[in-house]
Structure 1
Amino acid sequence: MSGSKANENGEHELSSTIGSLTPQEALHLLFPNLSLLSELDRMSIRAGNRIKGMLAGKRRSSTIGGSQEFADYRPYSPGDDVRRIDWNVYGRTGKAFMRQYWDEQELQVSLYVDASRSMAFGEGSMNKQQYALRLAACLGYVALSGDDRLSVRLFRERIVKELQPLHGRVSSPKLFQFLADAMKQLEAENTTYAAEEDFTSLAMPFSTRSALPRRSGSAWVLTDGMFDSGIEETVVSLIAAGQRVVLVHLLSREELEPDLSGELKLIDSELGTAKEVAVGHKLLKEYREAVAAFQSELKRICAERGAVYVFVDTSVPLEVTIRHTLLSSQVLNS
């Protein structure tokens, strides 16, 4: 039987009983439309001012370093590398000046994907979980193609699956296999996985230091937001860790415009609790107003904290979300 398992620390992880897909299988699972990859090649993750790292990259940081793009002069000081003295300036002025160059560094991109049971909700070609993993594949590919440094974590009440940091386009097959394998495992496990009864706060999986990025950069949280609390705390924690936070809020068309009526028993997909309700026009109107109010609350939290809120309707083709929603939200550059 598939299901979540506990590691030696008692933390729940996704099992790995399903065989890994080949790189080609993973690619086709995540990108039914392979032409999207050529569009992603021309995009980059918008960094803001969160660029800091140890590896050389394509982005200009605000610090002076060792690239070949000239920044400024400064007077020579004993111990400086004489190879950076501008001898033409010395010949004209008799004074030694050092040439300084902009430091080009990689951006640390951290993707957090909600793997809780409510993400498995949705009809049509893909549910919210599949959509989120495919979107993560797109974002990860953009980061790797731009020589950024990438990490990916899947979370429930804790981090349950983690991809070690990757760098460079050559690492894309590892990213795709990780996400495709996770998709297959989640499809098998969502029928058996039972969330902890107290998993009602998004802050839970972000409560340990190891769950947060070690370097400043860009952190993306892909979730349906089905939590009683913890969203603001999570945004604050990530910002405190030096992140430009992007909260990607995914809801299915069935959640936005439910086609329900009559006497029904509604079951909480996370906790398994049930409630009998009479669904009519008035209740559906109140429901839609509640969803809109929740979206407004998330926008407010992000705006006040300096994060970016992006809403995604999973009935919209992924290509359209990339081309329009993410670009217009200025979280990607084309």
Structure 2
Amino acid sequence: METSELLKRVRRIEIKTKGLSKQIFAGEYQSAFKGRGMSFSEVRSYQYGDDVRNIDWNVTARSGEPYIKVFEEERELTVMLLVDISKSSFFGTTKQMKNDLITEICAVMAFSATKNNDKVGLLLFSDRVEKYLPPKKGRGHILRIIRELIETRPTGTGTDIGKALTYFTNMVKKRSICFLVSDFLAEDYERPLRIASRRHDVIGLHLYDPREKELPDVGLIHARDAESGQMQWVDTGSSKVRRNYQAWYDRHQEYFKQAFQKSGADSLSLETTEDYVKGLLRFFKSR
């Protein structure tokens, strides 16, 4: 993509998603994701009903009167975007490709986080880690994230969610909010998800195209596998072929639901045809 066209796309996405995050998501984001630690604020005189475990014995000894330590919630958070950019994300039968929708949603999350003075990081993956941007603050960093989401193409030929989660767990030590964005057409990531969820607040955002749920009956077609690149003839007129495809899709989605449920992590499924603003708002309000 030409640099000028890339910058125009980045600017269009910034205008659209920054407005959404400012008008809609900022308040919901702040209430949904609270600080995860307590920091010392001040000392004050002991009052009836205060927790005696918070008494500052040094100040109490010097003053001759009881004083307690006052703590406040650490508001600053770290937000990590773990984004599946495998070739299956470059698919769409509606007005938007999955990867375009992923870019928009991630931009909304990033602008919501930066408005709250939180750091944002990015990890792009296929069957390997394609790109890692450490968490930082600022508009320039968010625009870099958007550029990478638009421009980065996978070098891998498959999807390995477990490898991405393991890399994330090893790289990000501070507790963070992790949005794992994928179509989740993969398995064998339950254990890395469980490990990541012990330290971080992991949320799975499952994005899917309606045609991925059900194979339409359109006769014999010459189709390319999005990730392997192999071409093959598929008889969509065969009820057996459609049933097998449906079973394959359902198996992956059942694995996704059970893996997140067992790990104690939240998850949300969004179809590319639905209003993701409403879907995310409902999710935020439910937390």
Band of TM-score, shorter chain: 0.7 to 0.9
Aligned residue number for residue 271 of structure 1: 228
Aligned residue number for residue 149 of structure 1: 119
Closer/same/farther in 2, CA of residues 19 and 161 from structure 1, 3 Å limit: farther
Q: Is the Cα contact below 8 Å between 2:124 and 2:132 reproduced in 1? A: yes
Residues 1:312 and 2:273 aligned together: no
Q: Is the Cα contact below 8 Å between 2:205 and 2:267 reproduced in 1? A: yes
Q: Is the Cα contact below 8 Å between 2:60 and 2:67 reproduced in 1? A: no
Aligned counterparts of 2:168 and 2:260: Cα–Cα separation in 1: 22
Tell me the SS of whatever aligns to 1:102.
strand
Aligned counterparts of 1:274 and 1:25: Cα–Cα separation in 2: 32
Aligned residue number for residue 298 of structure 1: 256
User: Aligned partner of 1:195: which letter?
Assistant: G
Q: Is the Cα contact below 8 Å between 2:98 and 2:209 reproduced in 1? A: yes
In structure 1, which of residues 26, 29, 41 is the aligned counterpart of residue 10 of structure 2?
A: 26
Residues 1:41 and 2:26 aligned together: yes
Tell me the SS of whatever aligns to 2:27.
coil
Aligned counterparts of 1:328 and 1:184: Cα–Cα separation in 2: 29
Aligned residue number for residue 156 of structure 2: 195
Aligned residue number for residue 205 of structure 1: 164
Residues 1:65 and 2:40 aligned together: yes
Greater shift, 24-33 or 64-73, is seen at 64-73
Shift of the alpha carbon at 1:65?
1.4
Residues 1:77 and 2:41 aligned together: no
Q: Is the Cα contact below 8 Å between 1:65 and 1:104 reproduced in 2? A: no
Residues 1:172 and 2:142 aligned together: no
Shift of the alpha carbon at 1:134?
0.9
Q: Is the Cα contact below 8 Å between 2:213 and 2:249 reproduced in 1? A: yes
Shift of the alpha carbon at 1:119?
0.4
Aligned counterparts of 1:249 and 1:323: Cα–Cα separation in 2: 15
Aligned residue number for residue 116 of structure 1: 86
Residues 1:261 and 2:218 aligned together: yes
Closer/same/farther in 2, CA of residues 166 and 47 from structure 1, 3 Å limit: same
Shift of the alpha carbon at 1:108?
1.9
Aligned counterparts of 1:264 and 1:121: Cα–Cα separation in 2: 17
Aligned counterparts of 2:148 and 2:203: Cα–Cα separation in 1: 22
5+ residue gaps, structure 2, are none
For normalisation by structure 2, the TM-score amounts to: 0.81
Question: Once the two structures are superposed, what CA deviation does each residue of 1:263-304 show, in whole Å capped at 9, x if it has no partner?
Answer: 223321111123333212623344334423432221111111
In structure 1, which of residues 101, 118, 133 is the aligned counterpart of residue 103 of structure 2?
A: 133
Question: Once the two structures are superposed, what CA deviation does each residue of 1:53-73 show, in whole Å capped at 9, x if it has no partner?
Answer: xxxxxxxx3x35127999756
Aligned residue number for residue 185 of structure 1: 151
Closer/same/farther in 2, CA of residues 313 and 165 from structure 1, 3 Å limit: same
Closer/same/farther in 2, CA of residues 103 and 43 from structure 1, 3 Å limit: closer
Aligned counterparts of 2:60 and 2:81: Cα–Cα separation in 1: 40
Closer/same/farther in 2, CA of residues 77 and 35 from structure 1, 3 Å limit: closer
Q: Counting strand residues as a fraction of each chain, which structure ranks higher?
A: 1
Quote the sequence identity (%).
16
Q: Counting helix residues as a fraction of each chain, which structure ranks higher?
A: 2
RMSD of aligned residue pairs (Cα, Å): 3.3
Question: Once the two structures are superposed, what CA deviation does each residue of 1:224-279 show, in whole Å capped at 9, x if it has no partner?
Answer: 1122x332133123224x11111111111221244342122332111112333321
Tell me the SS of whatever aligns to 1:109.
strand
Tell me the SS of whatever aligns to 1:215.
coil
Q: Is the Cα contact below 8 Å between 2:25 and 2:281 reproduced in 1? A: no
Tell me the SS of whatever aligns to 1:221.
strand
Runs of 4+ in 1 over 6 A off after TM superposition: 67-71
Aligned counterparts of 1:201 and 1:99: Cα–Cα separation in 2: 47
Aligned counterparts of 1:281 and 1:67: Cα–Cα separation in 2: 72
Tell me the SS of whatever aligns to 1:272.
coil
